[in-house]
Amino acid sequence: MTVTGLVLAAGAGTRLGMPKALVVRDGVPWVARATRLLLAAGCDRVVVVLGASATEALAFVPTDDAISTIINVDWSSGMASSLRAGLEALSGTAAADDAALITLVDTPGLPLDAVRRVLAAGSPLARAVYDGRPGHPVLISSQHWGPISATLAGDHGARAYLEAHAVTDIECGDLWSGRDIDS
């Protein structure tokens, strides 16, 4: 199975005071950490969705043949547009027959083992949960990309779709809290 990682990094980070794609912690840009994490876990390639401050953020995306970027020009309408843009970008590629593994740029604490657990689920829809609370990463097979995109609006992701379509929850609370960083 070919799995393409998808890093959502388009938001303005208003609560944080800057786009999260520009954040550097301990000398490592969050966007670089997320892309490398997905590759290390077993993704064949990674697509990074940028938006706010995209020109500046491009400098933080690692240069690697397995990593590419797209710009979500509608980023200010919310996370749904970034997920939709990412899934649409994947639909016209060889990866369209397989799956996308999605994570957010603002989860720099996400451990490699959590990503590997979700990848190993063997389910067309799987997500990490942390003490029962849904989180990232989320694995979505290509058969669901179009239907999920049709349900996305505003600042809401795919949660309602996943829950309505028997997502497999993969408990990862023993590895990490699952919390994203907003401030």
Is the pLDDT confidence value at 95 over 80? no
What pLDDT sits at residue 96? 59
Q: Which residue has better confidence, 1 or 103?
A: 103
Give the pLDDT of residue 180.
81
Q: How high is the pLDDT of residue 182?
A: 72
Q: Which two tokens stand for residue 67?
A: 């990593």
Where does the pLDDT of residue 80 fall: very low under 50, low under 70, confident under 90, or very high at 90 and above? very high
Q: Please compute the mean of the pLDDT values over residues 152-173 and round it to a whole number.
A: 94
Report the pLDDT averaged over residues 68-92.
94
The predicted-structure confidence for 14-46, as pLDDT tens digits, reads as follows 888 899 999 999 999 999 999 999 999 999 999
Least Cα distance to 112 among 31, 5, 34 occurs for 34
Lookup result for tokens 């490398």: 36
Average pLDDT in the 143-149 region?
Answer: 95
Tell me the backbone φ, ψ of residue 25, rounded to 5 degrees.
-125, 130
At 49, the pLDDT band (50, 70, 90 cuts) reads very high
CATH number for the domain whose boundaries are 3-171: 3.90.550.10
Q: What is the pTM of this model?
A: 0.95
Residues 90, 47, 116, CA angle at the centre, nearest 5°? 100
Residue 97 pLDDT grade (very low, low, confident, very high; cuts 50, 70, 90):
low
Average pLDDT over the chain reads 94
Q: In this structure, are residues 57 and 30 in contact, taking their beta carbons and an 8 Å threshold? A: no
Residue range 170-178: mean pLDDT, rounded: 96
Question: What residues does each domain of the chain span?
Answer: 3-171
% of the chain at pLDDT higher than 70 = 97
Looking at the predicted structure, is the pLDDT value of residue 155 above 70? yes
pLDDT of residue 15: 87
